[in-house]
């Protein structure tokens, strides 16, 4: 049994065992389950150094197209807005980096850096099988924990044009944004914004549109990535659920890897499998088991312990 399958199976068993046992109102947190264990381990790809234009320092050893924009242009054109992040779920904005749940995101970050040593990895699509499994929660907190490291610059993109949430979670405006760019009415830098957290940039979803599948498939997302990727260490793309609609698999074509969120006690294993089948083994970077109550679950305690050990040994 592959480790991914094993993780899904355990999540399903845990779901069956603890169905309905979570106390209402109890906070639940993400566990980075099984990251970096897919075919990438078997077929490592050599990583080349990227050479950005405009004197932008690149901390990641990634091949990338030179951006037509310099860092100065990015900072000059990208407005700094007054975000009002949701304090309960945006874990890194309140200055308490020891808050519950933050360690799991540091571990996830560390795992991603490890995965990147083995294969080119900068543009990550975050998806899951079904709605409300924690894709936006994971994407936004992952972006935050990465920029907490000095000098790391992250672009977070809300590509869930059907049910955009990142602007709500971060307490900011939703447009101009991705849909405006995909329609050709805005350029790359005019759809980006930044808030109070240094080096965290956001492309919100943009104006509501009626044809999300057509827009995400029109090829302009790839162009957007090519034109801005050398300005960032990571680009994290939030997406709609992968089973009901095809957007996520289309969006993945513009990314280097897919991070699959599985909601503990909730995602049916057959749905998780179907979502997984939307992506090639090579694209799947790993799974995040979200919402584990690690104080009452043997399974998640096991993973939690294992990851803490791992993370202290090898934090990026
Ligand atoms: N681990 C967690 N701890 C606390 N709250 C969480 C956690 N994961 C998700 N949530 C909350 O659950 C709700 C649903 O999560 P989120 O919006 O991230 O799901 P989603 O998969 O992006 O949903 P959709 O498919 O509708 O876009 C949000 O209010 C989010 O803040
Ligand atoms: Mg979402």
Range of the domain at 150: 3-17+28-314
Q: Kindly report, residue by residue over 116-125, the tens digit of the pLDDT.
A: 999 999 999 9
Q: How many domains does the chain have?
A: 1
Q: Ligand 2 centroid vs 7 CA: distance in angstroms?
A: 23
CATH number of the domain where residue 246 is located: 3.40.50.300
Residue 241 lies in a domain: yes
Q: Kindly report, residue by residue over 218-266, the tens digit of the pLDDT.
A: 999 999 999 999 999 999 999 999 999 999 999 999 999 999 999 998 9
Q: According to the model, what pLDDT value does residue 299 have? A: 43
Residue 22 lies in a domain: no
Asked if 142 contacts 108 with a C-beta cutoff of 8 angstroms, the reply is yes
Measured from the Cα of 138, ligand 1's closest atom is 18
Q: According to the model, what pLDDT value does residue 8 have? A: 53
Q: According to the model, what pLDDT value does residue 246 have? A: 93
Measured from the Cα of 261, ligand 1's closest atom is 21
pLDDT under 70: residue ranges of the chain: 1-65, 294-316
134 lines ligand 1 (CB under 6 A): yes
Nearest-angstrom CA–CA distance, 30 and 286: 13
Q: Residue 96 is encoded by which pair of tokens?
A: 């308490």
Measured from the Cα of 169, ligand 1's closest atom is 31
């Amino acid at each position: 049994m592959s480790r991914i399958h094993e993780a899904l199976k355990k999540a399903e068993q845990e779901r069956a065992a603890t169905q309905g046992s979570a106390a209402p109102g109890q906070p639940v947190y993400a566990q980075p389950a099984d990251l970096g264990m897919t075919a990438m381990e078997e077929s490592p790809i050599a990583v080349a150094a990227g050479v950005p234009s405009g004197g932008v320092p690149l901390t990641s050893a990634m091949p990338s197209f030179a951006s037509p924009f310099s860092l100065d242009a990015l900072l000059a054109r990208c407005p700094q807005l007054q975000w009002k992040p949701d304090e309960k779920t945006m874990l890194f904005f309140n200055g308490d980096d020891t808050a519950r749940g933050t360690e799991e995101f540091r571990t996830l970050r560390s795992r991603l850096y490890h995965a990147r040593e083995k294969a080119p990895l900068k543009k990550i699509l975050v998806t899951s099988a079904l709605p409300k499994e924690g894709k936006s929660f994971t994407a936004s907190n992952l972006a935050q924990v990465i920029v907490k490291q000095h000098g790391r610059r992250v672009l977070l993109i809300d590509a869930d044009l059907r049910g955009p949430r990142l602007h709500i979670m971060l307490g900011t405006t939703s447009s101009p944004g991705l849909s405006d760019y995909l329609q050709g009415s805005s350029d790359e830098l005019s759809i980006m914004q930044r808030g109070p957290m240094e080096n965290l940039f956001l492309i919100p979803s943009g104006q509501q549109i009626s044809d999300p599948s057509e827009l995400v498939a029109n090829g302009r997302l790839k162009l957007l990535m090519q034109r801005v990727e050398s300005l960032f260490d990571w680009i994290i793309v939030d997406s709609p659920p992968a089973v009901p609609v095809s957007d996520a698999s289309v969006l993945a074509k513009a990314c280097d890897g897919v991070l699959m969120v599985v909601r503990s006690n909730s995602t049916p294993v057959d749905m998780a499998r179907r979502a997984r089948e939307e992506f090639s083994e090579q694209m799947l970077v790993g799974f995040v088991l979200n919402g584990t109550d690690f104080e009452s679950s043997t399974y998640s305690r096991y993973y939690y312990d294992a990851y803490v050990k791992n993370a202290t040994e090898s934090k990026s």
